[in-house]
Structure 1
Amino acid sequence: MTDKNQLFLKLLKQVGFSAGGADEAVLQAGEIKNVDVYRKERRWDIHVFFTTPLRFESYNALNQAIKHEFNDFVDTRLIVETADGQQQYLPDYWQYAVENSEVLSANPAAQNFLVGQAPHEDSGRWVIPINGQLFDKMLEQRLLDSFSLELRDYGFFNVKLLTEVTDQGGQSDFESLAQLVEAHEKNMQEAFQQAPVKPKPAPRPSYQGRRGKKTSFGPGAISDKAEITQLKDLSEDQRSAVVEGHVFKAEMQELRSGSLFLRGND
């Protein structure tokens, strides 16, 4: 048992995770290679090493367990490296990998399209079915190559992604495009509905006297509905105004006109 393996087993114990089945043996032999700490972003990138990729259910459960454990302190990202890079579980990871891809997030149309286009394996290559020439042109090979590099973070390497046009008809292009636009609008609407409601600004606190009551200066009572004027907004031509603040010293003098002259420090 190496030090890196011991660290990983301590992590499993800390987050209380056990996969069971075939993945349990893979986990027990796992290692923590290193942890990248980003202080400004409050994020840890935890690099682990397995002999082979986990099933998606095990990977996702482990990732969520780690996030939950450290959520109060930092955000975490689980980055997996493997010895063999076996790709049999790739279709199971597909939707999650597409939705969380930084490369594809710069091209929302391509990202939304690829979510529902899980590839199939053909002679060591992964073929993405494309229903029409329009989408085939939208998915440039360099975009797919960049995305395949991101799949290394799940333990899959040397992934070759290709597209295959399954329908030459132009009408299917427009129908698929309309469905894609509709799906994008639905996602945007759901994101808007799930966004937290912006809280209303709290009412400005009023000065409370020692007995818990407002202390006012001037003839008569001040209405609770009176508009409060900031000191910096007072002008010489104002005949009256209501100001509010912490008054530490005040002197009041009645003028011949009957008006009150107030001098104070706040």
Structure 2
Amino acid sequence: MDSNPVKDKMKRGEATVGTWSTTGDPSVIEVLTHMTDLDWIVVDFEHNAIDVSTAVNCLRASQGSGVPMFARVPYGEKVWIKRILDIGFMGIVAPDVKNAEQAREIVQAAKYAPEGIRGIGSARGQIAYGPGFYQKANDMTLVVIMIEDPAAVDQIDEIMAVPGVDVCFVGPNDLAQNMGVPIGLDNKHPDHIAAVQKVVDAGKKHGVFTGAHTTGGEEAARRIKQGMQWFPMSSDAGMLKMGVEGQLADIKAGLAGELGDDGETGGTFY
């Protein structure tokens, strides 16, 4: 892979849809990358019991699928960013960035000179992406900055002006909590809606892609119409839960005589 297909797709004006991996399970990653049409997967190190030695097997499970793997680091610290990128992830998601200086430090940590200060030493990067890895890594690497605080919304123009910031991604629950409004994805509080719209508008002005964590396909479609191009639907664990619940609902509907003549309500057993 000589370029980042997610970056390429967004540059063409298209939306990209992925999901969060909260399990960090290679078997789950293998299914999601080889058997679905998701554009990307983010392995979430921030809130889950996932370590680097497990994550490298997630990367191996995705190999050959053409689906880029990104990682949300626990915080925007250069050692974490270096380790994550060195094992082969094609981008990072940095949580709770409040200002342009933090965004600049994250970009610097994710890029080789002359654009940054990332150290040389990614043996697996060369294995996964070929001998020209160091020359193409800066262009391939996606840098996603999370907007989770009203301070970041207030400084969104300055954050988006930092060279190398590819995506500004809204974390709806943390943003709501820090704004002092009720939490919830697809948040309907007017102040939250206004804050998210401010991020989207700034992205259009600065040429920076935007996104938000979505509950599922219906919200994702609305976010695409709003102008967003990068967002996850739920998580691997969340979709597993929704799938099981859907099949159990089909069983109950069938027992209640609510299934059609073909025996289906829309759910399908794998």
**TM-score scaled by structure 1?**
0.23
Higher strand share: 1
Higher helix share: 2
**TM-score scaled by structure 2?**
0.22
Q: Which has the larger radius of gyration?
A: 1
